Structure 1
Amino acid sequence: MSAAVPGAIASHHYFDRDFDRMAVKLLPSEYYVTAVDTVMTTVLGSCVAACLIDRDAGVAGMNHFMLPEDGEPGTRGQAESMRYGAYAMDVLIRELLRAGARRDRLQAKVFGGAAVLANMTTLNIGDRNADFVLRYLETERITVAAQDLRGPHARRVCLLPHSGKAVVRKLRAQVDVQSVQREEGELLRKLAAVNKSKGSCLS
């Protein structure tokens, strides 16, 4: 099997007082797989996080992707490709199997796909991400045990690997919302740059 994707494995570890245990925070384009009961957490706007769990093996993983599919597969580095759902899902499943999970035991919990900026609603990025992850999991015959997708609110998602429990909190505090809006604005700028390089524009 291929090696783990360098530069894409979440590395921000800290002690989470809410759960009284160590945690790892995933940023956009990152993933994490573990057999240790470390809380995995991320904050989502239009992005989607897929959590895959094999409770029998005690292994779980999470990713955080920004866009559904790469229009130019094979032209980007591995770490850059992690922003795209198709690649991020393939990597997550591969690394779970490497860690001892079995594909037929995997269950999914998926979150995100919100529209937190007006332009995101126009571009339907959140909806496209949500549609993609559900379609991907159906194609791969992985059961979706829980989902909280779309809507106007950003989310903070926490996954407890051993129990498979996911805790979701809608973000309404101004400081949290502003942080997500900055991230969404950066995504829009990247999309605009990509489309400009192709001689087209966002509409």
Structure 2
Amino acid sequence: MLDDHGNRPSSAEIVGMAQTYYYDGHFKRPAVKLLPGEYVVGRHDELMCTVLGSCVSACMRDPVAGVSGMNHFLLPSTGRAEEDLTARYGVHAMELLINGLLRAGAKRQRIEVKLFGGANLMHSRTDDNVGHNNARFALAFMKQEGLGLVSQDLFGHEPRKIWYFPDTGRVMLRRLRLTRNDTIIRREVDYSRRLATRPDTGGEVDLFD
């Protein structure tokens, strides 16, 4: 991520898998844009943004420790009956973000969470679609782990673009129209295929304390 002088901060200031760092001229602050499968943890001065279709993003922060983060995840559609095989990817995405926050000084009981995304872009007439499955997983994970969910904007049929301001916890959301631009769908389909074909090691996920 770039600072006001166009310099990227040290690894001690920001961690994660996000690759797109820039200085946002409109909001006048350093920013990072997340793509499917990415996450980022940093200090409170970084703007975090992403575009969501079927995917879900969790925005998390510890206002006391001054650390925050965001992820962007999609459960793969494997066509297999075992739900734990697909849910493992969602758990892993949440684990990376939460453990990153804890390592940066956050306390689990102080973490505030906001959830976004999980749209049914294909307008499937059944409730069993990728987007809604992602949204249901995220809600179930919050409940199971006892995390502080303070707001959500999930389900529906429209993609969303969100801007997360960790210093205040504010989120700006814009609903998008899927007209001729199918970039969101193509990007998520490609990512889902890569997840579905990724070898499963059978290993257990080490959850945070």
Which residue, 23, 30, 37 being the options, matches 1:15?
23
Q: Which moved more, 1:112-121 or 1:131-140?
A: 112-121
Q: Which moved more, 1:13-22 or 1:48-57?
A: 13-22
Structure-1 separation of matches of 2:184 and 2:105: 34
> Relative to structure 1, is the Cα distance of residues 60 and 188 closer, same or farther in structure 2, using a 3 angstrom cutoff?
closer
* CA apart distance, 1:124: 1.0
Structure 2 partner of 1:94: 99
- The count of residues paired between Structure 1 and Structure 2 equals 178
1:76-95 matched pairs, under 5 angstroms:
84-95=89-100
The 8 Å contact of residues 41 and 159 in structure 1, kept in 2 or not, is answered as yes
The 8 Å contact of residues 44 and 180 in structure 1, kept in 2 or not, is answered as yes
Instruction: Percent identity, please.
Output: 45
Structure-1 separation of matches of 2:17 and 2:126: 30
> Relative to structure 1, is the Cα distance of residues 67 and 43 closer, same or farther in structure 2, using a 3 angstrom cutoff?
same
1:116-195 matched pairs, under 5 angstroms:
116-118=121-123, 123-172=128-177, 174=179, 177-187=181-191, 189-190=193-194, 194=197
1:28-107 matched pairs, under 5 angstroms:
28-67=36-75, 71=85, 84-107=89-112
Q: Provide structure 2 residue ranges, at least 5 long, that are not aligned to the other structure.
A: 1-14, 77-82, 198-209
The 8 Å contact of residues 117 and 184 in structure 1, kept in 2 or not, is answered as no
**Alignment TM-score, normalising by the size of structure 1:** 0.78
Structure 2 partner of 1:198: none
The 8 Å contact of residues 63 and 89 in structure 1, kept in 2 or not, is answered as yes
Deviation sequence 1:41-81 (CA, Å, 0-9, x none): 111100000111111111111001111776189xxxxxxx8
Structure-1 separation of matches of 2:26 and 2:167: 17
SS in structure 2 at match of 1:180: helix
* CA apart distance, 1:123: 4.9
Deviation sequence 1:149-201 (CA, Å, 0-9, x none): 011100111111111111111112746x422122233246557x64xxxxxxx
Aligned CA RMSD, in angstroms, stands at 2.7
> Relative to structure 1, is the Cα distance of residues 8 and 38 closer, same or farther in structure 2, using a 3 angstrom cutoff?
closer
Deviation sequence 1:128-166 (CA, Å, 0-9, x none): 111111111111111111100011100111111111111
* CA apart distance, 1:122: 7.3
Q: Indicate whether 1:114 and 2:85 are aligned.
A: no
Structure-2 separation of matches of 1:108 and 1:183: 25
Task: Give the ranges of 4+ consecutive aligned residues of structure 1 lying more than 4 Å apart after TM superposition.
Answer: 118-123, 187-191
SS in structure 2 at match of 1:71: helix
**Alignment TM-score, normalising by the size of structure 2:** 0.76
Q: Which moved more, 1:164-173 or 1:47-56?
A: 164-173
